[in-house]
Each structure stands twice: as C-alpha cells, then as structure tokens.
Amino acid sequence: MAARDLQERIKKLIVDQRLPSGAPLPTEPELMRLLGASRNSVREALKALQAMGIVEIRHGFGTYVGPMSFAPMIEGLAFRTVAGHYRGEDSLLQLLELREAMETGLVSRLAGRLPERDLRELDALVERMERQAAEGAGLAETDRAFHATLYRGLDNVLLGEVLEAFWEAFHRVRQDLLDVPHDPQVTCRQHREILDAVRSGDSLRAERAIREHFGNIRSRLSPAAVSRR
C-alpha cells in the first residue's frame, strides 16, 4: 500500500470517528488489522502525520489525535523566507505583503462593530505600548496581542490562527535575518490610529490606517532586505 494512501486512510478514520484533538487512536496492531498494512508501514504513516501535527505519538502511551495547529506551516513559511532571502529574493517583503493583503481586506469589516469590551482591551494594549516605548522596551509582544485582539472580533477561529501563523513566521525571520531600526513612537501612533478608526466606524479610514502601518514597516524593511549576509 502506498504511504500516501495509508496516511489518507488514517486521516479518514479520524474524520469518520469524529475524534477531537487529544483523543486516542486505535493501537498499532488494531491499525494494522483495520488498514491491512504492515507494522513498518503503519509506523511510517504515523510519523509522517505527526510531522504535520495531525497525530501525536506518545512513546509508551500510544498515539493520539494531534493539535492540528499551524506549526508546520509556520516552519515552512519561515524556512522558505530564509532560503529565498539568501538566494537574493525579497522574500521577507513578500511575506509582509501577504499579511498586509489579509489585514487590509479584513479591517474594514471591523469598523464600528467591535464590542466595548474589545475596544477597552485594545485601548489598554496601546497604552501599554506607549509605556514600553517611553521606557525603551520592546513592543513586539504587545503589537502581536493588539492584532490578535483586533481580529478576534471577526469571531473566526481559523482566520485568527492563520493571521497568527503569518505574524509568527514574519517576526521569527525578521529577527533572525535583519536588524531593522524603528521609531517606537511612530508604531504607537499608528496603532492608536487603527484603533480610533475602527472605533469611529469609518471603514475607509481603518483601511488607510492599516496601509500606513504596513507602509511604515515596508519602508524600514526595504533598504535592509537588499543587503544579504
């Protein structure tokens, strides 16, 4: 039996039995019997599925349905971007453009629609960012929390996870490859403008605020991106 076919049959078993993350899979001998496959074939299929986050092999305990996270996609995006960078491609800028396209297309849907609780949380995050800027501390994690909280208002878990994956890949690669100077006061001002635009209900203003934010990142990134180590 082809390895790919065996992987697909195990995935179908998970779907057909409606097994949630963390649920135990049939034992190895049971999978051999159910799938009509050898022990080695089953083990290789499970290892491949573990690499995708679909199953989790706990040695001494058994095999379980995995978290099905975007971790493999993050690793792939990060590696592809690094490899492209060293080949002379503007791969980091391309990844930034992917984030920008998604966020620009989504932010207008949030204008005037966020509940007061989320607006208060975003206010608190911008205020924290402003304090960190004044103290000379890094803003990355607060920036990340701001965007995650902002798009939480779309009530789409999958979308939130995809945006988080792009954020993680972009910042991991940027930290590894480039030392890009930035003005934290500008970053704070732009996040305040995004929040004010969303609160106002003006979708075009919200789009402009997001574009300005990404345009600032791009302008800082571009000179560095052409310098290869």
Could you tell me the two tokens for 4? Answer: 């790919």
Could you tell me the two tokens for 81? Answer: 């971007």
At 83, the pLDDT band (50, 70, 90 cuts) reads: confident
List b or e across 7-19, with b for residues whose CB sees 16 or more CB atoms inside 10 angstroms: bebbeeebeeeee
At 70, the pLDDT band (50, 70, 90 cuts) reads: confident
DSSP assignment of 166-177: HHHHHHHHHHHH
β-pair partners for 55:
65
What is the model's pTM? 0.75
State how far the Cα of 39 lies from the Cα of 20, in Å rounded to an integer: 25
Digit-coded pLDDT (tens) for 182-216: 789 999 999 999 999 999 999 999 999 999 999 98
| Cβ neighbours of residue 107 closer than 8 Å, sequence gap 6 or more | 150, 194, 198, 203, 206, 207, 209, 210
Digit-coded pLDDT (tens) for 15-26: 999 999 999 999
Identify the pLDDT of residue 206: 96
Identify the pLDDT of residue 201: 95
List b or e across 127-136, with b for residues whose CB sees 16 or more CB atoms inside 10 angstroms: ebbbebbeee
- Checking if the pLDDT of 229 tops 70, the result is no
- Checking if the pLDDT of 225 tops 60, the result is no
